Structure 1
Amino acid sequence: MIQSDPVIEWLLDSDPSIRWQVMRDLLDAPDREWMAERAKVETEGWGARLLSCQDEDGQWAGGAFLPAGFDALEWKERGQPWTATTFSLSQLREFGLDPACGCARRTVELIGASARWEEGGQPYWEGEVEECINGRTIADGAYFGIDVSPIVDRLAGERLDDGGWNCERINGSVRSSFASTINVLEGLLEYERSTGGTHRSQEARRTGEEFLLARNLFRRLGTGEPADERFLHFLHPNRWRYDILRALDYFRSSAILTGNNPDPRLGEAIEHLRSRRLRDGSWQLDGSPAGRVWFEIDDGQGKPSRWVTLRAMRVLRWWNAQPSINA
């Protein structure tokens, strides 16, 4: 691979978890090349570092959703902690840890035997009660080869009348939220990628996508005003939080899986993404969710971010390749 683009070179001068995605998504490297780079996630850089933080029973920080011995005052003063099993697994999935490697297989087996949700003591791979949590559990489980079909069926039945999901449904909410919906959609997409999905899961994904598309990814349906200005800020890691780049990257992945053309209603979010590009061709990190982490994987708020730039560049590359959109 020969590249003279300084942004590409900057991205490649990074961790294996970023390099392999640049090779696959931006450089069209042969499979054998990017897969060889992805294999390094297990033994080098951030992936290896996060794996080294794992407990002997397969969990992280001694808990499923919360670290062992967690004090609620920490959440109030420092923010939600992100060191427990669920967020660590999701981060390894984002890094691209090979689900077929021995380390990954041992991890998911140990978690299945040891981890229980703090909410009700349920075995980890049976899921919790909140839609956001279950969406990510589906994504992680499907990616790492676990049968998560019972959670998929549950979430398909928990859709609200507007087609999406809300973690506050159990408390009486009747309107979907952007954050809950993107978490579930990502899970359903990973399930469909891994198993082919079912008619019910595919229909649930369709109505969830329509919830976001009808709102141009960030607007209120009734007034057209931004539902939350923070949706236009680029976060990393997103954890459970929503922004339009996360949604655009989801729709890109969905279209690649299904072969569908981009929906024109993504256009406004695409233009905002273009407008945020810095003069050097990168995108900056607008923020990261506050709270305890194992280690940082970005250079800080307000600085150019390899993670945000990678996602933005592959979204725009996909969008710009569609002649029907750019005619």
Structure 2
Amino acid sequence: MNDTVRWLLEGDVSIQYQTHSFLLNSDFAVCGQLQRRIEHEGFGERLVSCRNPSGHWGLWYYQPKWTSTHYTLCDLKQLGLSKDNQACREMVLRALDECQGDDGGLNFAKRPMPSDIAIDGMFLDYASYFCAEDQRLDKIAEFVLTQRKSDGGFSWDYQSIHGDPHTTICVLEGLSTFQKSRQHHILADAIEGGLRFLYDRHLCIDEDTRFTKLSYPYRYRYDLLRFLEFACVAQIPLNEHIEQALMWLISKQKHERWNLELIHPGAVHMQFESVRQPSRFVTLKALRILKHFRNISFI
């Protein structure tokens, strides 16, 4: 075990759990014990405790950023909270009851309006984690698939003929998590098309300087680290585009750790980490990616 892994194991229990699970391949008993602690300690406990008597976090499903129910559920899923957490399951099911339209999309606004495809993708990601058995998720996936642009991407803008990287990465994550319980070639085709959209735009590297900044939490925004994490988790075969992104990631390393470079502004329950300081979240993600694509062992 190297010094960086030891440093990760000195962090929040959610970091300890993911380090044992993703880097050390520890046995089920060790990982399960750590995962059960997330709800009761550290970042997980603080987020869960911010829930209001109404059941919501923040004011409503999407108000305000980033303390709303939607983004808090995103955060809790990212921390590795247990899939059977009752608070999370309750709010996913409520969202389906209260916000799902006839077309399958979700309207998290307090007035009639079409769903945001990026939100649909993010919801599908954490809802497929906490409530995989709910058949209403199929309607979301089916609706999202109808919104593919001709370039293979997805966009929140119904009028646009092109996809955008933010919506596309959100949808890719959602479809990939959903696919784990619903194998279907149409999902695989959509994921392949979304990746092709990103590849055709050279991973959007030159489109926004923030895309090459190391950030966490991602919120709804695309960046190279998020792309690499998706490629790792979805087990996308190594190719020249992933290789280019890996070289970028390696170049960001400082003393076997990675700094947090960007926090997306907005209201938060708490700050996980500080900009320009070594980040356990980013370092864990980077090592998980390198373990997968470079076959590095940390045991």
TM more than 0.5: yes
1:65 equivalent in structure 2: 62
Q: Is the 8 A contact 2:108 2:115 kept in 1?
A: no
Partner of 1:118: 109
State how far apart, in whole Å, the 2-side matches of 1:12 and 1:238 are. 23
The answer to whether 1:32 aligns with 2:29 is: yes
Q: For residue 288 of structure 2, what is the amino acid of its counterpart?
A: R
What amino acid is the match of 2:270? F
CA–CA separation in structure 2 for the residues paired with 1:82 and 1:282: 27
Q: Is the 8 A contact 1:57 1:114 kept in 2?
A: no
Matching of residues 1-327 of structure 1 within 5 Å:
3=1, 5-67=2-64, 81-112=65-96, 117-118=108-109, 120=111, 129-145=115-131, 146-147=134-135, 148-168=137-157, 170=158, 172-193=159-180, 195-219=181-205, 226-255=206-235, 261-278=237-254, 280-298=255-273, 300-321=274-295
The answer (yes or no) to whether the contact 1:131–1:167 under 8 Å persists in 2 is: yes
CA contact (8 A) 1:58 1:111 kept: no
Aligned-pair distance for 1:114?
A: 6.1
**Match of 1:288, SS?**
coil
Structure 1 residue 297 displacement after superposition: 0.7
With structure 1 as the length reference, what TM-score do the two structures score?
Answer: 0.82
Kept after mapping to 2: 8 A contact 1:17/1:96: yes
Question: Identical aligned pairs, as a percentage?
Answer: 28
* Aligned residue identity for 1:89: L
Q: 1:119 to 1:129 in 2, by over 3 A?
A: farther
CA contact under 8 A between 2:118 and 2:220: conserved in structure 1?
Answer: yes
Q: How many residues align?
A: 286
Distance 1:253 1:140 in 2: 14
How many angstroms does 1:275 deviate by? 0.6
Alpha-carbon separation, structure 2, partners of 1:121 and 1:297: 35
Alignment partners' CA distance in 2, 1:31 and 1:213: 37
* Helix, strand or coil at the partner of 2:29: helix
In 2: Cα distance, 1:263 partner to 1:196 partner: 26
| Aligned residue in 2 for 1:72 | none
Alpha-carbon offset, residue 131 of structure 1: 1.1
Which has the higher mean CA deviation after the structures are superposed, 24-33 or 181-190?
A: 24-33
Q: Residue by residue, what CA displacement relative to the aligned partner does 1:87-124 show, whole Å, maximum 9, x if unpaired?
A: 001011001111124444344345555677225459xx
> Does the CA contact (< 8 Å) of 2:73 and 2:88 recur in 1?
no
How far apart in 2 are the matches of 1:92 and 1:21? 13
CA RMSD of superposed structures (Å): 1.9
Aligned mates of 2:196, 2:44 — CA distance in 1: 35
**Which residues of structure 2 form unaligned runs of 5+?**
100-106
**TM-score where L is the length of structure 2:** 0.90
Q: Is there any run of 5+ residues in structure 1 with no aligned partner, and where?
A: 68-80, 123-127, 220-225, 323-327
Q: Which residue is 2:102 aligned to? A: none
